[in-house]
Homo-oligomer: A and B are copies of this chain.
Amino acid sequence: MEPNRFERLAPTPTYQRVAEAIENDILGGKLQPGDRIGTEADLVRQFGVNRSTVREGIRLLEQGGLIRRDQSRRLYVSLPRYNRLATRVSRALVLHQVTFREVWEAAMTLEAATAEAAAARATAEDIAALEDNLARMAGITDHQAFCEADSDFHALLARVSKNRVLELAREPVGLLFTPTLKMIMDQVASAGPRNLEAHRHLIEACRSHDPATARDWMRRHIADWRRGFEIAGKSLDDPIERTFAAHLGLPGAYR
């Protein structure tokens, strides 16, 4: 058989072109975040297509986070939320059956860099927020709540790093870690205290603006997680279980 000489010839569906047209105006700066987009009827008029078609196009943008509806359901331009993006990335990783080893290795890199940057740039306010989280966490006995607080701590630290690229890159890894930490805590008694100790040292490193120490403690912290994972009898080379993904889907993934 002949090799492929020609591209597939497929006209772009109208609803996609509607979405692209609006997206281009947003990316091009003609529409700023916060700007209102017309009503569906307006778009029908402007694009000269049916309302159903407009609505399908809007769904695409809405799902991509570029536009949103306020409580009155009117459309306006919006900034995609990190949260949503991170959720999608996490889900994709799970569906691609990445292993814990991959996640762990990435966490080692990303969390360490985050901690380093955070230590370099933490303000007094930042440190207060971290302290606050630590205090709250120390008082929690419920494992689930503890894990969520831990997750918050790392997200907070990423915020403190003042590097939004790192912050966003780290987020999916954090989402995948949290449910496993719960599992570890259920089986390894020392996990909680060690966790708190690491956080304490991380805050201390931030306070003294000591990136090297922050990095060091974070690496220890992540290494601890791995040890706990193995003690709990899990293999690093197993793909992440689907059950962890269910936790990622709901609720309001499309809100």
Stretch of A138-146, A178-186, A189-197, A247-255 with 4 or more beta carbons under 8 angstroms from chain B: A247-255
Given known A92-B82, A248-B27, A249-B23, contact A163–B105 (CB-CB < 8 A): yes
Q: Are A89 and B96 in touch, CB under 8 angstroms?
A: no
B-side contacts of A233, CB under 8 Å: none
In the assembled complex, A128 has its CB within 8 A of some CB on chain B: no
B-side contacts of A173, CB under 8 Å: 165, 169
B-side contacts of A39, CB under 8 Å: none
Given known A20-B253, A166-B102, contact A85–B79 (CB-CB < 8 A): no
Given known A20-B250, A79-B96, contact A169–B64 (CB-CB < 8 A): no
In the assembled complex, A113 has its CB within 8 A of some CB on chain B: yes
B-side contacts of A16, CB under 8 Å: 254-255
In the assembled complex, A5 has its CB within 8 A of some CB on chain B: no
In the assembled complex, A227 has its CB within 8 A of some CB on chain B: no
Q: Are B106 and A169 in touch, CB under 8 angstroms?
A: yes
One digit per residue, 1 when the CB lies within 8 angstroms of any chain B CB and 0 when it does not, for chain A 8-30 equals 10101001100110011011110
B-side contacts of A172, CB under 8 Å: 165, 168-169
With the chains together, A248 CA to B246 CA distance in Å?
A: 30
Q: Are B63 and A59 in touch, CB under 8 angstroms?
A: yes
Q: Identify which of B8, B10, B12, B113 contacts A109 (C-beta below 8 A).
A: B113
B-side contacts of A62, CB under 8 Å: 60
Q: Identify which of B20, B59, B80, B82 contacts A56 (C-beta below 8 A).
A: B59
Q: Identify which of B15, B65, B163, B249 contacts A27 (C-beta below 8 A).
A: B249
Q: Are B106 and A165 in touch, CB under 8 angstroms?
A: yes
In the assembled complex, A164 has its CB within 8 A of some CB on chain B: yes
One digit per residue, 1 when the CB lies within 8 angstroms of any chain B CB and 0 when it does not, for chain A 135-178 equals 00000000000000000000000000001111011001100000
Q: Are B92 and A20 in touch, CB under 8 angstroms?
A: no
